[in-house]
Chain A
């Protein structure tokens, strides 16, 4: 299937108003993504052709190499691996290819880059990112004939930063660049590169551009060093020293300018790092090498607003030091809350930690610090019950970050259990996992405020979810969650919190103590919600938790036995009574409603009926009647409902092993 949309410009008109009319070929097997992508591209005034099969895409490309300027392709496609397509296009047509994926694994991104992708975007794609993709086309213009001015591919393979000649620039922003938004910053870098090219019309496709390859830059740096960075480093002299054919003084001049900026930036980063090192007194940026998501993920997992800070901060020292934590959870907690702040090797060390950097967290920085000190104290009072901690945090600022701090006690417990391993690299992971557990609650929240970093949020959600399930194995979550339940007064800073939290709490179901967790986590999340929103969220959250609980119960039947669950049950019950039609998906589990439910579900327009069901069936529900509800669940699930919805959606979700539709 192939579609053409976009401007009616012919093949040559693009040059005049480039990037308007740039011809893009979009390949994605997901029709929704493809449609949205195509429309977004049109909105950017590109000329778009779409296909949902890689094979067809290749065919079209092979028919006429000059028909397209740029290819955007999904990574996961049924008929051909996106990477394979990428390779072939790169080899045969030498067109810039941008990869698209819903998953943001570092490995995948790396794979994309090494296969020659000029960019790697995460779904959902935003229009801002698409507005910049024309740069890749420009960059690919016929380079200087010099050998050193290697094609972008080579440099990519080497530098792994995605763009030729940008390695040195990217280094300084390497850490912060290693995340989804790296595309953006790289684009920005390259944009300045473009701007710096005096006498060069970047919109003209025929002029050769100087590509600052690694070798070339090395020569440049050598020349500059030889001359000394002071007055002597003038472009003319540098040019002479470099002795590179075809390089003009202007090229060197603009490159020099950028280099100076880069050095300045480096030194400011260095001071920041120095600060951190001093504060922490521990190992340096050994973990700073954030291979995009890895570091990021770690960072994120144990830092409350880590996401923000990582975005803004190049140094990820916290990760390294974090791994070193032999100390109590307080450290981890503070690590979490501070995001940036490095938990020292001792509680005292924590006190010294200054909320360094993290401009992105400005709002939260101060608060975090409070949280840290508080956590330190908490930590020292290892016997302190979790409730107490909450009391302390209640007065804390409303930031999500503090939500995180509220979960400190939990972290403490968890971390304690794995403290032995903290000193090892694996301990690092454990700690992180421990953190993610609480952070689950908080991570969800953390994610929320960062609306601008939606992609990051998603990533972190993934990671934190995984982390949390690992945490479960430590078996402490029930305690933790009980603690969190007691949180009740945190004003919500982000409405999305509960939903995120709930989602993330799902994996925790895996171990029985976590049954309580589900409800608890939803409680926690709803606790975070304040005002009227809380109600809505609670309902939604409760609905979620309820359904989770349901499945959990049906799965193990042991939920009722969980004291944790019971304690949370009461909370949930009260919340449930507030439900008013927001719990359809919980409701459909109730027996009486089942049959009518099915009917309703089948009818398109009667979906709203679902709402009425919960009200009747639900408000009286409490956990004692969960069992009643559970049996219908079993029945419902065992029932081979084939046509749940129009799409023939089978509802026998969980348990009919072998008894499919």
Chain B
């Protein structure tokens, strides 16, 4: 596929993510931060985010596995995840975090588990899409370097 078509594909893909609510405007800001001085910013941020998110989700999962759940600990994890989700523009994931936060506030373990499941779902979806996005980005970069 030629470069222009790839770029259009990427653009459309991101746009579809916006439309689905998977991403929001914050992601545009991140994209805007990528320039010649910072050519891999988006990829770096996404990678950083995914690693961090998985770590946190694991932690939350582990926490919820205990008999006596430490809700305040849980809350700080959720807070973190929410913060990073919102910073990267992961809209739905961020909303899912709100659910978990609420369940955690209510000390409702059952609710927490459900909310965590939702978070997991959203994260899976997001990650899958991010991977596709990065794949496209890399192809573009590759084509661009080859053309030079």
Q: Do A and B bind each other?
A: yes
A462, B98: Cβ atoms closer than 8 Å = yes
Q: Which of B2-10, B26-34, B139-147 contacts A (4 or more CB under 8 A)?
A: B26-34
Among B24-52, those with CB < 8 Å from A are: 24-26, 29-30, 32-33, 38, 41, 44-45, 48-52
Instruction: Say whether, besides A76-B80, A102-B82, A645-B54, A654 and B113 are in contact (CB < 8 Å).
Output: yes
- How would you classify the secondary structure of chain A's contact residues: helix, strand, loop or mixed? helix
User: Shortest CB–CB separation between residue B84 and chain A, in angstroms?
Assistant: 4
Interface readout for B81-101 with A: 1 if CB under 8 Å, 0 if not? Answer: 011101111011011101101
B101, A462: Cβ atoms closer than 8 Å = yes
**Nearest-neighbor residue (CB-CB) of B62 within chain A:** A660
A196 contacts across to B, CB distance below 8 A: none
B58 contacts across to A, CB distance below 8 A: 647-650, 661
Chain B: interface size category: 35 or more
A499, B52: Cβ atoms closer than 8 Å = no
Q: Is A544 an interface residue (CB 8 A)?
A: yes
Instruction: Say whether, besides A500-B21, A503-B95, A605 and B49 are in contact (CB < 8 Å).
Output: no
B87, A36: Cβ atoms closer than 8 Å = yes
Q: Is B14 an interface residue (CB 8 A)?
A: no
**Nearest-neighbor residue (CB-CB) of A588 within chain B:** B124
Instruction: Say whether, besides A36-B45, A102-B83, A454 and B96 are in contact (CB < 8 Å).
Output: no
A585, B122: Cβ atoms closer than 8 Å = yes
B87, A32: Cβ atoms closer than 8 Å = yes
B99, A499: Cβ atoms closer than 8 Å = no
B54, A451: Cβ atoms closer than 8 Å = no
A35, B45: Cβ atoms closer than 8 Å = yes
C-alpha spacing A544/B48, complex, angstroms: 25
B33 contacts across to A, CB distance below 8 A: 36, 39-40, 43
Q: Is A604 an interface residue (CB 8 A)?
A: yes
User: Shortest CB–CB separation between residue B33 and chain A, in angstroms?
Assistant: 5
B19 contacts across to A, CB distance below 8 A: 495-496, 533, 536-537
Interface readout for A3-43 with B: 1 if CB under 8 Å, 0 if not? Answer: 00000000000000000000000000111110111011001
User: Shortest CB–CB separation between residue A565 and chain B, in angstroms?
Assistant: 15
Q: Is A608 an interface residue (CB 8 A)?
A: yes
Q: Is A153 an interface residue (CB 8 A)?
A: no
Tell me which of A31, A504, A510, A652 contacts B48 (CB under 8 A): A31
B12 contacts across to A, CB distance below 8 A: none
Among B107-147, those with CB < 8 Å from A are: 108, 110-111, 113-118, 120-122, 124-125, 127-128, 131-132, 135
B38, A39: Cβ atoms closer than 8 Å = yes
The A/B interface has a contact count, at CB < 8 Å, of 220
Q: Is B70 an interface residue (CB 8 A)?
A: no
A451, B25: Cβ atoms closer than 8 Å = yes
B79, A657: Cβ atoms closer than 8 Å = no
B113 contacts across to A, CB distance below 8 A: 551, 555, 653-655
Q: Is B103 an interface residue (CB 8 A)?
A: yes
**Nearest-neighbor residue (CB-CB) of B128 within chain A:** A607
A496, B30: Cβ atoms closer than 8 Å = no
Q: Is A219 an interface residue (CB 8 A)?
A: no
B45, A507: Cβ atoms closer than 8 Å = no
A40, B91: Cβ atoms closer than 8 Å = no
Q: Is B74 an interface residue (CB 8 A)?
A: no
C-alpha spacing A495/B19, complex, angstroms: 5
A496, B91: Cβ atoms closer than 8 Å = yes
B91, A510: Cβ atoms closer than 8 Å = no
A584, B92: Cβ atoms closer than 8 Å = no
Q: Is A391 an interface residue (CB 8 A)?
A: no
Interface readout for A615-650 with B: 1 if CB under 8 Å, 0 if not? Answer: 000000000000000000000000000000111111
Instruction: Say whether, besides A506-B99, A647-B55, A584 and B20 are in contact (CB < 8 Å).
Output: no
A507 contacts across to B, CB distance below 8 A: 99, 102-103, 111, 115
B91 contacts across to A, CB distance below 8 A: 496, 499
A503, B83: Cβ atoms closer than 8 Å = no
**Nearest-neighbor residue (CB-CB) of B57 within chain A:** A649
C-alpha spacing A608/B21, complex, angstroms: 19
Residues of chain B at the chain A interface (Cβ within 8 Å): 16, 18-22, 24-26, 29-30, 32-33, 38, 41, 44-45, 48-52, 54-55, 57-58, 61-62, 65-67, 76, 79-80, 82-84, 86-89, 91-92, 94-96, 98-99, 101-103, 105-106, 108, 110-111, 113-118, 120-122, 124-125, 127-128, 131-132, 135
Q: Can you list 25 A-B contacts (CB < 8 A)?
A: A30-B80, A33-B87, A74-B83, A76-B79, A76-B83, A101-B83, A103-B79, A124-B29, A124-B89, A454-B26, A465-B98, A509-B111, A510-B108, A540-B22, A543-B125, A555-B114, A584-B125, A605-B131, A646-B54, A647-B55, A654-B114, A655-B113, A657-B65, A658-B67, A659-B65
Residues of chain A at the chain B interface (Cβ within 8 Å): 29-33, 35-37, 39-40, 43, 74, 76, 78, 101-103, 123-127, 451, 454, 458, 461-462, 465-466, 469, 495-500, 503-504, 506-507, 509-510, 533, 536-537, 540, 543-544, 547-548, 551-552, 555, 584-586, 588, 601, 604-605, 607-608, 610-611, 645-661
